[in-house]
A and B are shown apart, each in its own frame.
Chain A
Amino acid sequence: MGNVAIIVKIMPESPEVDREALKAAVRAAVPVDDIQEEPIGFGLVALKAAVVVPDSAGAPDEVEAALQKIDGVASAEIVESTLV
């Protein structure tokens, strides 16, 4: 069984959400390898986090659920996945 690199797109609840604090919360919630910012518009900036999970049942859901629970997160959604 291999490991899968997933990329999760995280949207803040508003442009006012403290981005550095959000990044720290994301890192605390899941084993993140890399976080990048993707500016959208109107002050909104999406975070894209790369996370490595096992290629097994429930793994992608657990990551999305853990991130959705964070204060200040509007949505967290896996946009890409590939075996590493």
Chain B
Amino acid sequence: MAVEKPHMNLAVIGHIDHGKSTTVGRLLFETGAVAPHIIESFRKEAESKGKGSFEFAWVMDSLKEERERGITIDIAHKRFDTDKFYFTVVDCPGHRDFVKNMITGASQADAALLVVAAPDGVMEQTKEHVFLSRTLGINQLIIGINKMDAAKYDEKRYNEVKEQLSQLLKVVGYKPDAISFIPMSAFVGDNISKPSENTPWYKGPTVLDALNALTEPEKPTNLPMRLPIQDVYSISGIGTVPVGRVETGIMKKGMKVSFMPANKEGEIKSIEMHHEEIPQALPGDNVGFNVRGIGKGDIRRGDVCGAADVPPTVAEEFIAQVVVLHHPSALTVGYTPVFHCHTAQIACSFVELMKKLDPRTGQVKEENPTFLKTGDAAIVKIRPTQPMVIEKVKEIPQLGRFAVRDMGSTIAAGVCMDITPKQMR
């Protein structure tokens, strides 16, 4: 019996038109994830239409149509296998309004494949996505310098783009030396599954090699237990039942827990998942649990359940690194949009703009800037208008990220660097 390979969520990111979808298609194709009979039927169709060569683009187009005709929950995700892992691919939506869902959503990407077209180099969305991957806590990155066929497979151009990218990556704290920059063509198939003769100067891994070299992420079971509350129920004959997804640590039956900012304590009487009672719940588990000592009215969505001895942190103020994704004019001190952090949605004020960062050098471009605009990255001080749980991204990354929204549109994304905690006892 084959042992199931470890699973990885792979986000494919990059600027508009740089070849993300083509790359996903190519990966599915080269790893055999597209059924052979589908490819065969296209080959036949191509022949019958008198086309001498089989056109890869056709396959992709028709698969796209097929997907759009009727999506099911299972095939919403594209899956392919390499020797070591099975991957599900998230081809990230381009519009920033989807960013909130990526930050608060269920399936955190374990690695990202950044696609950059060689003829264009680093573009606006390349920059945005690199900042976002960091914000989302994606620590493993592979870079595909795509469309090398359209850049005459020129080593000099490859090096220029690699250099541009290295600068950008350093700013947000990635180590370019530890990252593969693969010259490729999703269209032609260069350096995807085997080294290409078109790039004899390149000695590094192919895309599949780089995917196989990723490391399996560990479940954050060693961190303090945190479960942001989604909904709270009062079930007859049982009592108060909060529902949510364990983000970190282990929730155990009998455990003493603390709910913040509600500032209530209780004891876990029982935990259920898939309608079965379980002795403990792990990160990623969607559970309902019955707590002794808590009434339905005591806690609500946005509160966080944590271990009583390491209770969730309530912030008086916090310092954050943010990237402004879109602001119609200028963001200044006093601005109070809604912060979406785990299941909480709380209006928070920008009380200080501390530093503006230069994306090209990583250096502080300006101390105490008077405003921030679209595309800026900055260190800022934030004060929630109501008690709110947030954690330092270095300590509990899952609860250290947020999206900033205003009037129905996404303004910024960021991570919490430091906290002035509110004394709750």
Residues of the B chain whose Cβ atoms lie less than 8 Å from the Cβ of A60: 97-98, 100-101
Count B-side interface residues using an 8 Å CB cutoff.
50
Docked complex: B42-73 residues within 8 A CB-CB of A: 64, 67-68, 70-73
Q: In the complex the two chains form, is A46's CB within 8 Å of B71's CB?
A: no
Q: In the complex the two chains form, is B273's CB within 8 Å of A41's CB?
A: yes
Shortest beta-carbon distance from B102 to chain A in Å: 7
Shortest beta-carbon distance from B94 to chain A in Å: 5
Residues of the A chain whose Cβ atoms lie less than 8 Å from the Cβ of B70: 33
CA distance A6 to B77 in the complex (A): 10
B188 an interface residue at 8 Å Cβ cutoff?
no
Residues of the B chain whose Cβ atoms lie less than 8 Å from the Cβ of A1: 94
Partner of A55, one of B95, B241, B277: B95
B415 an interface residue at 8 Å Cβ cutoff?
no
Q: In the complex the two chains form, is B106's CB within 8 Å of A79's CB?
A: yes
A44 an interface residue at 8 Å Cβ cutoff?
yes
Partner of B272, one of A14, A38, A42, A77: A42
Residues of the A chain whose Cβ atoms lie less than 8 Å from the Cβ of B95: 55-57, 59
Partner of B21, one of A9, A43, A50, A83: A83
Q: In the complex the two chains form, is A82's CB within 8 Å of B89's CB?
A: yes
B31 an interface residue at 8 Å Cβ cutoff?
no
A-B pair number, CB within 8 angstroms: 139
CA distance A79 to B288 in the complex (A): 17
Residues of the A chain whose Cβ atoms lie less than 8 Å from the Cβ of B289: 41
CA distance A41 to B77 in the complex (A): 26
Residues of the B chain whose Cβ atoms lie less than 8 Å from the Cβ of A36: 73
B93 an interface residue at 8 Å Cβ cutoff?
yes
Residues of the B chain whose Cβ atoms lie less than 8 Å from the Cβ of A11: 230-231, 243
Shortest beta-carbon distance from B381 to chain A in Å: 28
Shortest beta-carbon distance from B114 to chain A in Å: 15
Q: Which of A46, A58, A74, A81 has the most CB of B within 10 A?
A: A81
B156 an interface residue at 8 Å Cβ cutoff?
no
A4-B98, A7-B73, A55-B95 given as contacts; is B107 within 8 A of A80 (CB)? yes
A84 an interface residue at 8 Å Cβ cutoff?
yes
Residues of the B chain whose Cβ atoms lie less than 8 Å from the Cβ of A83: 20-21, 91-94
Proximity bits, A59-84, B CB within 8 Å = 1, else 0? 11100000000000011011111111
Q: In the complex the two chains form, is A80's CB within 8 Å of B92's CB?
A: no
A-B contact pairs, 26 of them (CB 8 A): A1-B94, A2-B93, A5-B71, A14-B235, A34-B71, A40-B273, A41-B273, A41-B274, A41-B276, A42-B241, A43-B235, A43-B275, A44-B233, A44-B243, A46-B286, A52-B71, A60-B97, A61-B97, A75-B231, A79-B105, A79-B106, A80-B76, A80-B107, A81-B101, A83-B94, A84-B67
Interface residues of B (CB under 8 A from A): 20-21, 64, 67-68, 70-73, 76-78, 89-95, 97-98, 100-102, 104-107, 230-231, 233, 235, 238, 241, 243, 271-277, 286-290, 301, 408-409
6 extra A-B contacts, CB within 8 A, seeds A50-B76, A60-B97, A61-B408: A2-B21, A4-B93, A44-B233, A44-B241, A79-B101, A84-B67
Task: Kindly list the 7 A-B residue pairs having the minimum CB-CB distance in the complex, ordered from nearest.
Answer: A41-B272, A41-B288, A83-B91, A79-B106, A5-B76, A39-B275, A34-B72
